[in-house]
């Protein structure tokens, strides 16, 4: 079984769909109830309905530019079909959002090939409090469950709590953790982790990094240094730079994404805490605006509640 192939067999499992539906409950309730109010008393999709729908999308944290894009597409359909009933609006909105997600992530993660990298190196970035360490632990758990050898690098050395949390996750899921004293050079931790992963024949390396959103130059220098030392051990490492965002922060998640994508070459996103918020629309907006694949979503606190992002399942769950 290839690296991450296990997601293919698990993503459509009934329990995964059930967890997704449950995790998106708050978003779905708010979203669908707002749409119902937007079309109340109307039989056709007219300018009033579109204005109301625009407000629904913006207040669901889809984002202004993405909302305008969706409204423009629906307006085009209304103009083309001449008559569009409000009962058809749900289906049309679902189709347009799903199409937009597909356009923005041309490589569906189910078909994404990781190549022959061993070890495969993931550098995880994001501000404190977004669920970064928890995401690392849950991902390590999923990988280990498929008999892949995983090692974690505790390179967020600025907070004692961060190192301790990584160690606790390592114990909990049964994977090795490389750590140094608090205040150590993060690049040194990353270097040691990769060297030991190569020596031990491990399959996946996951490196935690400091969650401080300090000035952009400082962030770029710090992350750049970590990347440079990793490349000395494994050419082209890290293979994945995973930015973790808290879905419950709404528009703040957009700003964090902007800061980190300007500071480093983020090529994957994980959006967490979707179960505790009605702001799940942020997944749609961030995917559209930054054109970076959303690979994982967090839909609960259970160790198995980190899911591979399935665009169709997400949109279906939102509208069902």
User: Which residues are known binding-site members?
Assistant: 126-133, 208-212, 272-275
> What are the DSSP E strand ranges found in the chain?
120-125, 150-154, 176-178, 204-208, 240-246, 268-272, 294-298, 306-308
Number of H helices, E strands in the chain: 13, 8
Residues within the annotated binding site for GTP? 126-133, 208-212, 272-275
What is the radius of gyration, based on Cα positions, of the chain? 21
**CA atoms lying within 13 Å on the CB side of residue 245:** 34
Structure tokens at 283: 């997944």
Euclidean distance between the first and the last CA atom of the chain, given in angstroms as a whole number:
34
Strand partners, 153: 178, 207
Query: Residue written as tokens 């974690």?
Result: 152
């Amino acid at each position: 079984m290839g690296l991450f192939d296990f997601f293919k067999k698990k993503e459509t499992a009934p329990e995964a769909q059930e967890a997704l539906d449950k995790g998106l409950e708050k978003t779905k309730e708010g979203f669908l109830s707002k749409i119902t109010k937007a079309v109340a008393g109307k039989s056709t999709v007219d300018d009033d309905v579109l204005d109301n729908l625009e407000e629904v999308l913006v207040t669901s944290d889809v984002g202004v530019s993405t909302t305008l894009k969706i409204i423009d597409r629906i307006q085009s359909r209304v103009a083309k079909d001449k008559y569009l009933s409000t009962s058809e609006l749900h289906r049309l909105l679902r189709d347009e959002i799903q199409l937009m997600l597909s356009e923005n992530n041309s490589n569906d993660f189910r078909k994404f090939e990781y190549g022959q990298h061993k070890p495969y190196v993931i550098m995880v970035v994001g501000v404190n409090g977004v669920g970064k360490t928890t995401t690392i632990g849950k991902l390590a758990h999923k990988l280990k469950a498929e008999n892949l050898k995983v090692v974690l690098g505790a390179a967020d050395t600025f907070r004692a709590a961060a190192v301790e949390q990584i160690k606790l996750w390592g114990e909990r899921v049964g994977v090795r953790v490389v750590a140094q004293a608090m205040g150590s050079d993060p690049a040194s931790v990353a270097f040691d982790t990769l060297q030991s992963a190569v020596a031990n024949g491990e399959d996946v390396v996951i490196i935690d990094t400091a969650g401080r959103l300090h000035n952009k130059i400082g962030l770029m220098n710090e992350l750049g240094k970590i990347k440079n030392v990793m490349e000395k051990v494994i050419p082209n490492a890290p293979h994945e730079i995973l930015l973790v965002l808290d879905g419950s922060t709404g528009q703040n998640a957009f700003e964090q994404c902007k800061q980190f994508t300007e500071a480093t070459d983020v090529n994957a996103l994980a959006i967490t805490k979707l179960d505790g918020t009605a702001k799940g629309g942020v997944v749609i907006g961030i995917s559209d605006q930054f054109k970076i694949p959303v690979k994982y979503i967090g839909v609960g606190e259970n160790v198995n509640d980190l899911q591979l992002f399935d665009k169709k399942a997400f949109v279906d769950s939102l509208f069902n």
